[in-house]
């Protein structure tokens, strides 16, 4: 049996994926079930490949309303209904994101899906260190980061191992991410490139990890379309002295020291 708790990278690419990389999203796995962060591509297929069924998914955390992060939510809901899911699914995110998702679902007339399982939306306020959810495995909080639209990063504290995972989502370098990832055992930070209004480079991700005093740094949301990522780890190591690795699709990371 795979080690628990753990995070599985379901996708690692930035906006344009390729045949080997899906858009960035991941799933937290513990004894209490599965929590997915963002939803893109073919979510049920990706979950099934790592041993998670549509019936096992407890919650979905959405970081922001961009297609490469939430575009597959309608398909996830439809597919789970078709294969017989009955229990509620809890979806967490900022009001900006969830309001637009509910509007989107109304275009599909989901209110007419007979026998559809309950979906519970949890609208999070746009403030730092907002509690998101807690179960026997994880205590999860969120903080706003700085992107083109309202966006949250996520902090996961593992209750059984005292391991702390920080996830930046899409953001420029900002103090909110530093506080979110303060002394994290692992910071997963985007490395799209230096876009002053919305994204970070690998070297900027390393600088954030250094300032946050994180122990390790994983790079995610990097360009793959007609691009190579070979240089990114070295770039991050120019500003961060700790271990650095490149997140890859289906990579499993134990959340323990």
Domain boundaries, given as residue ranges, for the chain: 6-253
* Contact between residue 250 and residue 12 where contact means Cβ atoms under 8 Å apart: no
- Give the C-alpha separation, 120 to 91, whole Å: 6
Tokens of 145: 């980061």
Q: What backbone phi and psi angles, to 5 degrees, belong to 49?
A: -65, -25
Range 84-88 average pLDDT: 96
Q: In this structure, are strands 164-167 and 119-124 parallel, antiparallel, or unpaired?
A: unpaired
Residue 36 has pLDDT above 80, yes or no: yes
Nearest to 167 by CA among 45, 69, 51: 69
Q: What is the mean pLDDT of the chain?
A: 96
For the segment(s) 6-253, the CATH number from 3.60.15.10, 1.20.1250.20, 3.90.1530.10, 3.10.250.10 is 3.60.15.10
Q: In this structure, are strands 119-124 and 89-94 parallel, antiparallel, or unpaired?
A: parallel
pLDDT tens-digit profile of 181-220? 999 999 999 999 999 999 999 999 999 999 999 999 999 9
* Segment among 54-58, 96-100, 185-189 with least mean pLDDT: 54-58
- Give the C-alpha separation, 226 to 69, whole Å: 21
Q: What is the predicted pLDDT for the residue at 1?
A: 39
- What is the secondary structure of 239-255 as a DSSP string? T--S-EEE--TT-EEE-
């Amino acid at each position: 049996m795979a080690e628990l708790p753990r995070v599985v990278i379901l996708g690692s690419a930035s906006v344009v994926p390729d045949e080997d990389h899906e858009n960035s999203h991941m799933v937290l796995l513990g004894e209490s079930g599965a929590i997915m962060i963002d939803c893109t591509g073919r979510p049920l297929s990706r979950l099934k490949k790592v041993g998670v069924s549509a019936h096992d998914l407890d919650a979905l955390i959405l970081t922001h309303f961009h297609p490469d992060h939430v575009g597959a939510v309608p398909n996830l809901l439809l597919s789970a209904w078709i294969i017989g899911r009955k229990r509620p699914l809890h979806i967490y995110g900022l009001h900006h994101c969830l309001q637009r998702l509910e509007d989107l679902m109304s275009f599909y007339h989901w209110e007419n899906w007979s026998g559809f399982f309950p979906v519970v939306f949890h609208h999070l306020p746009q403030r730092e260190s907002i509690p998101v959810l807690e179960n026997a495995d994880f205590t999860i909080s969120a903080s706003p980061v700085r992107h083109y639209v309202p966006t949250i990063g996520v902090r996961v504290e593992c209750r059984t191992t005292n391991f702390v995972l920080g996830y930046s989502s899409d953001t420029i370098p900002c103090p909110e991410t530093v506080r979110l990832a303060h002394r994290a055992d692992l910071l997963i930070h985007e490395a799209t490139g230096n876009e002053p209004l919305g994204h970070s480079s690998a070297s900027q991700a390393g600088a954030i990890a250094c300032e946050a005093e994180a122990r390790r740094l994983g790079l995610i949301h990097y360009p793959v379309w007609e691009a190579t990522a070979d240089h990114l780890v070295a770039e991050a190591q120019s500003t961060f002295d700790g271990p650095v690795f490149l997140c890859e699709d289906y990579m499993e990371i134990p959340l323990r020291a």
